[in-house]
Amino acid sequence: MPSISDCLEKKSRNHKEENGHPLKALSSKEKAKVSIKSASKTVQRGCHWFWKDMKKRHLLWVKVIFLFQSASLVALYPYLTIHMRSLGFAIEDTAIVNSAVPLADVFGPPIAGFLADKIGNFRMFMAVVTFLNGAASLLLLVIPAVKTDLEMCCQGRLNETATTNLECVPRDWSEPPWTILTTDDINVSSMGTLAVHSRDFRCNDPQGALSTFKAHLVHLSVNQTRFHECAQSDHMTSCRVSVNKNWQDWSTSFASYLGVRVLLDILRASSLMLFEGAVVVIIKEHGGDYGLQKLFGTAGAVIFSPLAGKIIDWSSYRSGREDYSAVFILYFIIRAITSLLILKLSLGFKPPAKKVFKNLTKVLCKPNVLAYLVSFLTAGLLWGFLETFLFWFMEDLGATKFLMGLSLAVGTLAGVPVTIFSRVIISKLGHHFVILTTLVIYSCRMLGYSFIQEPKMVFVLEFLKPLCTTLLIISAMTFVKDVSTLTTVATMEGIFGSLYFGVGRGLGGLIGAYSWELIGPRLTFQLLSTLAMGSGVFYSIIMLAHRKLRSNKYKLPHSQSTNDVHPPVGPTVHSKVND
């Protein structure tokens, strides 16, 4: 009589003969078929998920507004720093503006969020703020310049000693310094003889070399026709002579510019945070994927970032000087359209909040929320520095405005897969690991910027940008949604927004400007790379300590171990120790 083991062995052999040995290797053709079938199912699930979200009517206008929001931001804000430069402001002036403006943003978004929670249905309030933000951009058209720029090109033929002449006589100048900016094709120390009343000329070239020399006034004339012709030649060396005006003109222009920028940024930050809060509230109430809604903003950024740069180049060519007026008008049009679209949103379900500060305190006192806020602030500092000075750095490397806009488009396109799979990435990694990854990647990007010599190399580093911005913002917004109640979402959005877009960006602009001036751009990038890596290490230590303390909190005392616990008498009461 066969034993039980013999019966089991015989049954196993029969199963292998019918179905094949489970360890038998598949052929390459079979593996390819399996891979294609698996990929096909993945694509089908993705299309079904995408189409299911598209059919949600409450999210239709959210997608369209995201498109116009992104379009407006890339059409104006990346160019504001080099617009300041074109007006004649120095890098120290930029530092003051980029520290004062975000400090004003600290109060705007939280106050707007508080009012939104108190109002309940804040659709009309949000539309008005958005329209005013667009209208404020038109005030930039009337800011007077603080210097006169005379643009011309040097003579095409250089002799053996590499000397050339600059043919220009400015009509309006008063006090030095005068600055000569050159391309990489010419040596600053061999610029020839050009000076005013035997004063010192301070010549700075993009590589950081400094040369000072004396000369006397040379009476020459400018042929505008010949200038426009040679300016278009790729084989000519271009030069710009900048002549500063008096201090009275500077103070008037600077005060006007600072006031406009403060108003513009407060309205922008408030409008964005109100909309982000509205999206989170809508998704929290009716369902939806936040990352997929932001995906539609990609289209607006990809289209309008190079378009805005091209418009600036075209306007500057037509006027013979740097002209940003077209993008100011474009920004106003886009924001006006956005304000009309906001009226299509449905927020009638949101009840007015009664105890905003009390409920908010409960959320903010959680250790994981505080830790996330601090790391989010650090990421805002790093983003603020790049937002302020990356285009300045690219311009020093010789990049055109179109190339600058194209770099934005490259970074935005690279963010498409990140946006699509953001929900999966965040669910797998978690909010805390996402922000840790952001700090590490920021460190790598900053280090990379410090070594590049050609503006096109920026594109390589821009591919990493979505992991630092897109994924982080989506993670932060979903984090707020998870830890907040329906009546405190808008206020929490405002607090996060003020720390990132306000305090963080302000510190990035302020620290970056003074560091740029003291140690130069490349060492500044390396310094911030070290800061990012150090912040990531510090954040890891804090989170590990927090988890250790939390795990010890829920351990049973030794006297109450499982060996000493007796079965209870009477009804059993179940308790959940992990909240």
Say what the pLDDT of residue 139 is.
92
Task: Name residues whose C-beta falls within 8 Å of residue 60's C-beta, 6 or more positions apart in sequence.
Answer: none
Tell me which residue has tokens 């009664």: 354
Say what the pLDDT of residue 165 is.
38
Does a cis peptide bond (omega within 30 degrees of 0) precede residue 177?
yes
Residues 181, 392: contact at Cβ < 8 Å? no
Say what the pLDDT of residue 556 is.
47
Residues 206, 184: contact at Cβ < 8 Å? yes
Tokens of residue 490, six digits: 């808008």
Say what the pLDDT of residue 149 is.
43
Q: Which residues pair with 211 in a beta bridge?
A: 203
Residues 292, 280: contact at Cβ < 8 Å? no
Say what the pLDDT of residue 448 is.
92
Which domains, and CATH codes, for the chain? 52-145+250-552 (1.20.1250.20), 147-244 (no CATH)
Residue type, 145: A
Per-residue pLDDT 10s for the chain (579 aa) are 555 555 555 555 555 444 444 444 566 666 666 667 776 676 667 676 667 777 777 778 888 888 898 888 888 888 888 888 888 787 778 778 877 777 667 777 777 777 776 766 678 888 888 999 999 999 998 888 775 444 444 444 333 333 333 433 333 333 333 444 433 333 333 333 333 333 333 434 444 443 433 333 333 333 333 333 333 333 333 344 444 444 556 778 888 888 898 888 888 888 887 887 778 777 777 777 777 777 777 788 888 888 888 888 888 888 777 888 889 999 999 999 999 998 888 776 555 556 666 667 777 777 777 878 888 888 999 998 998 888 888 888 888 878 888 888 888 788 888 887 887 888 888 888 898 999 999 999 999 999 988 888 888 888 888 888 888 888 887 887 777 776 677 677 777 877 887 788 878 888 888 888 888 889 999 999 999 999 888 888 888 887 887 776 555 454 444 444 444 444 433 333 333
Q: Which of 343, 347, 340, 345 is nearest to 281 (CA)?
A: 347
Say what the pLDDT of residue 138 is.
93
> Phi and psi (nearest 5°) for 58?
-70, -15
Q: Which of 343, 344, 368, 369 is nearest to 488 (CA)?
A: 369
C-alpha–C-alpha distance, residues 279 and 134, integer Å: 21
- Report long-range pairs for 315-322 (Cβ below 8 Å, ≥24 apart): 316/401, 320/151, 320/224, 320/228, 321/86, 321/149, 321/151, 322/83, 322/86, 322/149
Task: Name residues whose C-beta falls within 8 Å of residue 158's C-beta, 6 or more positions apart in sequence.
Answer: 164
Tell me which residue has tokens 């988890």: 547
CA atoms within 13 A on the CB side of 259: 9
Say what the pLDDT of residue 10 is.
54
Residues 290, 477: contact at Cβ < 8 Å? yes
Residue type, 326: A
C-alpha–C-alpha distance, residues 450 and 385, integer Å: 14
DSSP state of 353: P
Q: Which residues pair with 212 in a beta bridge?
A: 202
C-alpha–C-alpha distance, residues 392 and 27, integer Å: 56
φ/ψ region of 398 (left if φ > 0, alpha if ψ in -120 to 50, else beta) reads left
Say what the pLDDT of residue 206 is.
40
